[in-house]
Structure 1
Amino acid sequence: MGGQVHRSTQDGVAILEIDNPPVNALSQDTRRALADALMRAESDPDVGAIAILASGNTFVTGADMAEFGQKPREPHLPDVVDRIESSAKPVVVGWHGTALGAGCEIGLAAHRRIMARHARVGLPEVKLGLIPGAGGTQRLPRLVGLPAALDLVATGRLLDAMEAFAIGLCDEVTDGDIREATVTAAKSLIGKMQQRLSVRPALPPDTGAWEAMVQKVRREAKNRLAPLRAIDLIHQTLSMPYALGAPAERRTYLDLMASDQSRALRHLFQSERAVRKLPGLSGTKPLPEGAIGIIGAGTMGAGIAASLIEHGFSVVLVESGDSALQAGRERLATLMARAIRSGRIADSQRAEIARRVSFTTDLAALARSPLVIEAIFDDRTVKADLIGKLEALLAPTALIATTTSALNHEALADGMQRPERFLGLHVFSPAQVMRLIEVVRARRTSLDALAAALDLARRLDKIAVVCAPCEGLIGNRILAKFRAQCEFMLEEGALPAEIDRALEAFGLAMGPFAAQDLAGLDIAWARRKRLAETRNPAERDVPLVDKLCELGRFGQKTGKGWYLYRDGKREPDSEVERMIRIHAASTGRRPAALTPEAIQTRVLAAMVNEGAKLLSEGIAARPLDIDLVMVHGYGFPVWRGGPMQEADARGLRAVLAQVEANASRDGPAFSVALLLHDLLAQGRNFASLNAPETASPARQPQPAVRA
């Protein structure tokens, strides 16, 4: 049997203790047990009040994810929650750890809420594309007011105990034992009638405060449905009784549960947890203690150092010369100052942080480091030489990591005596902000090295996706196909602004041409020149970025790129548009009907096709790995769940048709991945390839379906 509810009695108070480890999710068994315990407490003449608590380190953290997307099972959560509120005997809830979703709604139905000092509470359903479904949108406004309720429901943010107390979400904060405080509060209510929150009228809010919050939610929703639906549900509490509002909330909840958006967001939620639990790593060792070495104090190195320091690590930062070292010191100081201003680090920690970081030009200072991360410029000869020096210096068990995504990891390991200790850590920039790391397991990388890298990522609160080495790894390889399709469309009649608008409507925060201008066109130009000798002459190529760079148009930093920049504003440049039209005419290609939908479909197909190839080659183990990389590293809209999830939502047959059109028009680099045909032939989709066993790090890369 699943969750239980332990029942005991103390001083006339029935103590109901929810026990469904590890996080006390309200599964069907737990709901049934809670409903039964409530009924027995209500009918017990020796009980005058009820206290609801939870075992372990946390209160209820929500509904059971395993039931999401299935037909609702009785007893339904709203019925159990309503049973709490309608109890003839006072009910007090004690929140400790985290009280999330259903855990918060249980408290809202109670007649008094006690909160442990270090507990947190919230309604994070919006992060799964949902709204609260057990009265949360109807009771919360009646308790804390409409603006505060909308803020909590639409953002999903969590409140600490003092924040919750300040807005009236909890009645008491205790530094003592939560059980004792809750039972004491319940005992004090014996014999006293309590008003139900559902019958309390919602007070009209200050018009300005409400409108400001509504505008904030609309602005930040960015195509997400749940925050927008929350606005109407919360506002209706002013005019609609709970008896009508609660069914409306439930209908909205079930509608959203069936939506593509919620499926996509739940997919990402579960995927983030899946990558933390790779099979085959039992018995491996975590990263040993010691100062982590970073070689290269540029933007990437300083960002990695800042992230490490913020999470309690000691760091030794190494540069090649005094001037570069001083620049790195200043760069890191700037990042630390920002972290302090934002509240991520307390100002009182300045001295302690200073003791945990050292700067040097001497590699010997790294001799005792358990891990050294090289973040120097991408030159194979220079990196290989550095790796050789590190191997001679470090302890045999110390790990050596490279941040490159462009160079061949296997080749970098070839000269090593202990290649099993070498791996890639492709950290995304800015490293102190971005949560994604592509962890590159080369052919000879040991399981211990991999486990240590994943342990580091966990301690940094980053999402680590394991992949095999290849040019560009997962993300940059897919990005190259995405960008190529965008540039191909320039030859077929589209302009940069049209493509950017179409893809921003798709959900990207910034279109590809605006993004290239922001990053600097010289970056893509340098890569093109590096790959020029190996480029297949049969592949379709658009040299426009070369022409822009030859004219000194490197993007925002020069005031000109794909766009023109004046007074900080981006605008289309007639000179670039003329250049594009002349080039397009020279290709002899017929203009295409490139509607926004056609643009979106073409680039999605290119991404999905390349993702399928990465799966077949064993570079990526599962489609969910690709989705996480593209969402958290490259700005693919989170509410679409990633390109592979989006392909499943649209249907693989429709996606394959566009992939075949791309292949016919654009040449061998866009040839159709055989995996797409295999999945269709077998009646499967990408989600069917997300089984946990496919991610085993001990497994050699294999085609995802075909042998």
Structure 2
Amino acid sequence: MPEARDAVDYRFGDGIAWLAVANPPVNTLSRRVREGLGAALDRAEAEPGLKAVVLMGAGATFSAGADLAEPGRPSAGPAVVDLCARLEGFPVPVVAAIHGTALGGGLELALAAHYRIALSSARLGFPEVRLGLIPAAGGTQRLARMIGAKGALDMLLGGGMFAASRAPARGLLDAVAEGDLRAATEGFVRQLLETGQGPRRCSEMRQGFAEPAAYQKEVARRRDAAARQPEIAPRELVAAVEAAMLLPFEAGLAFEADVQETCLASDQSRALRAAFVSEGMAGRLGLPGGTARPALHRLAVLGGGGLAAQLVFTALNAGLELRWGTIDPEAFLTGVPQLRDAFAEAVKRGALTDEQAQDRMAGLKVGDSASMAADADMVVLAAQGQGHVPVPEGTVRAVACAGEVEALGLRFAQPGSASRLVEVVAGPVVSASELAAAQALVRALGKIAVRVTSRGETIAARLVAACQRAADALVDAGQNPYDIDRAFREWGWTRPPFEARDRMGLRELATQPRADGARNWSALLLGAGRGGRSARRGVYDWTADPSMPREDSALKTLLDAERPSAAAMPPDLIRKRVLGAMVNEGARMLASGMALRPSDIDVVALHALEMPRWRGGPMHLAGVMKLLALRRAMEGFDHPDRAFWAPEPIFAELVKNGRSFDDLNAEPVSRSA
């Protein structure tokens, strides 16, 4: 294993010690990096004639912050908070020179330095809230001292990245540079030394507290907003920023550390961290490490319908050259104007400038399918009837429309232009090179890939079917659909089973089989003229407002005529049975090899079914809710659909060994493709 000093490049000359974090690809602050920084600071302090220290990042970025393999595990080596204290207390000026990104703990190191300079293209941010955490190395305390409550909370609560050249990030910097960062930094340091400016400690700053009344008003406003949300971390962030003004710096650090421990131990943070890690793992698609991804510059989308138009817009917006082909040229008469309207709307929202929108549209070429496919790096079939179009030898072809998949399929969660999920269907004759091309495309589009081994069936479809079948079974048992949805809404799921059913339409669900003695309630409602939201009535009444479902008193009368009455189930038991059925379906997909790992199923549930991210997907939740409790909830449900409710054998195996589905998420052995 490389020594710690290998993780930090050290150079000394003309009185300046240059420390560059070198932990590619994004310079995460792993134990080796932290130890290397501590050793480099020791070395710098011992240099005769030391006048200043510069902290920067080697390669493409400054630092993306913490190593997510470490949160929740026993820490070793110096903590980031200790390194921040060391930087701030250093006897000579310390300058952070930022390029690429400075995120989380990386930005906290920069704030602990005495001065900061950044390239105008750099981006700064604190993404911790997206993991159910808060900055834990003084970030909340230093940020508030520098730019006040509004700027600090803008950066902390959204978890996004901010351009170095614009507020609020600009308020953290002493200088913004163009071009050569090292040369600009050297000039900045020389000017500091010539003017005799020594260390300037952020812990002693108070400009952010210049208007105490406005500060407290902003804190109160953000506290009220956070109190209306279910997540813990935003509320704690507001409290930490408030503490920055009310407490001495050291006490504020202690408050921040205590809050971080609370967040770290929470089920919410465990779920959010698991989701983040799962998305990265899913994107590997089970390919061997080091598998080369092909260069992808020019994409052909074949088809003239709505799916094709969504894919064209998404690809153009990602900066790809796009060849749009169809066998019906008339489709372009409406399709191209719709594209222009979509980009105009993006400009109106502020997502793009006029110039960017024009550049995106300039990458579009339209024509007949064969000519559009002729010079593409990859071809996506987005409508039926395109399968016969010739594709140059060696060009990967993927099927995005419904139907059987022999080699490679792509299933975009809807709406395709907004949802981040793509299920990459690995058919029976798929090759590793085809999967690598799919991986390249999904990454180029900024989406999340999940591998599915099937002939076209998706994990999302299986989960939706299981959820709806379980919900129907509860209605069989006398439960009110509105009580079922209410149990999940109060739990945090904003698209609970029956509302989701109405939104997708009842027609497809009405064809799904049920066991003898079980009812397909979608078929009953459809026969009564209640087809879902598009029909203005389904389970809910949508007549007053198509965006807002209302309970319909006539529904209970309709259902009760077809089933016996029963006492209401407790909300917790409703959730256990529906989620247990989804976990059971996930276990079947794992047993058949359709899904690579439990966490892939969770990724699909979070994005396609819109389950609350801070709760986690069903496979993760099985551990939180306890597998034994879920198994008992299913076994204790006396329902005719016995095969569906019978727990899969893996339940007993995991319970016996004190394990959960999360324990099965280690990277699987890659399948030969």
TM above 0.5, yes or no, is: yes
Instruction: Give the superposition deviation at 1:328.
Output: 2.7
| One-letter amino acid of the counterpart of residue 40, structure 2 | A
User: Quick one: structure 1 residues 361 and 142, their matched pair in 2 at CA, closer, same or farther if it must change by over 3 Å?
Assistant: same
Instruction: Indicate if the aligned counterparts of 1:129 and 1:224 stay in contact, CA closer than 8 A.
Output: yes
1:702 alignment counterpart: none
1:538 alignment counterpart: 516
User: Quick one: structure 1 residues 246 and 283, their matched pair in 2 at CA, closer, same or farther if it must change by over 3 Å?
Assistant: closer
Report the more deviating stretch, 614-623 or 116-125: 116-125
User: Quick one: structure 1 residues 314 and 26, their matched pair in 2 at CA, closer, same or farther if it must change by over 3 Å?
Assistant: closer
1:250 aligns with 2:257: yes
Cα distance in structure 2, aligned partners of 1:122 and 1:355: 32
Consecutive unaligned residues in structure 2, runs of 5 or more: none
Instruction: Indicate if the aligned counterparts of 1:113 and 1:171 stay in contact, CA closer than 8 A.
Output: yes
Cα distance in structure 2, aligned partners of 1:317 and 1:120: 34
User: In structure 2, the residue corresponding to 1:564 is in which secondary structure?
Assistant: coil
Instruction: Indicate if the aligned counterparts of 2:222 and 2:238 stay in contact, CA closer than 8 A.
Output: no
1:22 pairs, out of 25, 29, 39, with 25
Alignment of 1:359-398 (within 5 A): 359-360=366-367, 365-376=372-383, 383=384, 386-387=386-387, 389-390=388-389, 393-398=390-395
Instruction: Indicate if the aligned counterparts of 2:452 and 2:594 stay in contact, CA closer than 8 A.
Output: yes
User: In structure 1, the residue corresponding to 2:549 is in which secondary structure?
Assistant: strand
Deviations 1:158-187 (CA, angstroms, capped at 9, x unpaired): 111112576511111000322233333333
Instruction: Indicate if the aligned counterparts of 2:573 and 2:633 stay in contact, CA closer than 8 A.
Output: no
1:32 alignment counterpart: 35
1:213 pairs, out of 215, 222, 235, with 222
Cα distance in structure 1, aligned partners of 2:519 and 2:528: 19
2:540 alignment counterpart: 563
| One-letter amino acid of the counterpart of residue 198, structure 1 | S
1:262 alignment counterpart: 269
Cα distance in structure 1, aligned partners of 2:488 and 2:79: 41
User: In structure 2, the residue corresponding to 1:638 is in which secondary structure?
Assistant: coil
Cα distance in structure 2, aligned partners of 1:276 and 1:603: 28
Instruction: Indicate if the aligned counterparts of 1:144 and 1:167 stay in contact, CA closer than 8 A.
Output: no
Instruction: Give the superposition deviation at 1:517.
Output: 2.5
Instruction: Give the superposition deviation at 1:527.
Output: 4.8
Alignment of 1:637-648 (within 5 A): 637-648=612-623
| One-letter amino acid of the counterpart of residue 118, structure 2 | M
Cα distance in structure 2, aligned partners of 1:445 and 1:168: 52
2:80 alignment counterpart: 77
Instruction: Give the superposition deviation at 1:283.
Output: 5.8
User: In structure 1, the residue corresponding to 2:562 is in which secondary structure?
Assistant: helix
1:97 alignment counterpart: 100
User: Quick one: structure 1 residues 592 and 321, their matched pair in 2 at CA, closer, same or farther if it must change by over 3 Å?
Assistant: farther
1:184 alignment counterpart: 187
Instruction: Give the superposition deviation at 1:287.
Output: 5.9
Instruction: Indicate if the aligned counterparts of 1:15 and 1:183 stay in contact, CA closer than 8 A.
Output: no
Deviations 1:403-424 (CA, angstroms, capped at 9, x unpaired): 345x443xxx4xxxxxxxx321
Instruction: Give the superposition deviation at 1:641.
Output: 2.7
Instruction: Indicate if the aligned counterparts of 1:370 and 1:397 stay in contact, CA closer than 8 A.
Output: no
1:594 aligns with 2:569: yes
Instruction: Indicate if the aligned counterparts of 2:344 and 2:357 stay in contact, CA closer than 8 A.
Output: no
User: In structure 2, the residue corresponding to 1:639 is in which secondary structure?
Assistant: coil
2:157 alignment counterpart: 154
2:458 pairs, out of 449, 473, 477, with 473
1:272 aligns with 2:279: yes
1:704 alignment counterpart: none
Instruction: Indicate if the aligned counterparts of 1:97 and 1:118 stay in contact, CA closer than 8 A.
Output: yes
Report the more deviating stretch, 272-281 or 356-365: 356-365
RMSD over aligned Cα atoms: 2.6
Cα distance in structure 2, aligned partners of 1:505 and 1:102: 35
2:625 pairs, out of 646, 650, 663, with 650
Cα distance in structure 1, aligned partners of 2:400 and 2:7: 48
User: Quick one: structure 1 residues 258 and 274, their matched pair in 2 at CA, closer, same or farther if it must change by over 3 Å?
Assistant: same
TM-score, normalization: structure 1?
A: 0.87
User: Quick one: structure 1 residues 283 and 186, their matched pair in 2 at CA, closer, same or farther if it must change by over 3 Å?
Assistant: closer
User: In structure 1, the residue corresponding to 2:251 is in which secondary structure?
Assistant: helix
Instruction: Give the superposition deviation at 1:69.
Output: 1.3
Cα distance in structure 1, aligned partners of 2:372 and 2:131: 46
2:131 pairs, out of 107, 128, 131, with 128
1:553 pairs, out of 524, 527, 530, with 530
Deviations 1:630-674 (CA, angstroms, capped at 9, x unpaired): 112221111123111111223322222223235866322333212
| One-letter amino acid of the counterpart of residue 528, structure 1 | A
Instruction: Give the superposition deviation at 1:364.
Output: 5.5
2:173 alignment counterpart: 170
Instruction: Indicate if the aligned counterparts of 1:292 and 1:315 stay in contact, CA closer than 8 A.
Output: yes
| One-letter amino acid of the counterpart of residue 698, structure 1 | S
Report the more deviating stretch, 56-65 or 620-629: 56-65
1:461 aligns with 2:446: yes
Give the aligned length.
661
1:401 aligns with 2:410: no
Consecutive unaligned residues in structure 1, runs of 5 or more: 377-382, 414-421, 700-707
2:666 pairs, out of 691, 694, 700, with 691
Percent identity over paired residues: 32
Cα distance in structure 1, aligned partners of 2:421 and 2:293: 22
Instruction: Indicate if the aligned counterparts of 1:294 and 1:315 stay in contact, CA closer than 8 A.
Output: no
1:509 pairs, out of 494, 501, 517, with 494
User: Quick one: structure 1 residues 537 and 655, their matched pair in 2 at CA, closer, same or farther if it must change by over 3 Å?
Assistant: closer
| One-letter amino acid of the counterpart of residue 502, structure 1 | A
Instruction: Indicate if the aligned counterparts of 2:28 and 2:65 stay in contact, CA closer than 8 A.
Output: yes
2:68 pairs, out of 65, 68, 86, with 65
| One-letter amino acid of the counterpart of residue 587, structure 2 | A
User: Quick one: structure 1 residues 526 and 50, their matched pair in 2 at CA, closer, same or farther if it must change by over 3 Å?
Assistant: closer
Instruction: Give the superposition deviation at 1:84.
Output: 1.1
Report the more deviating stretch, 632-641 or 438-447: 632-641
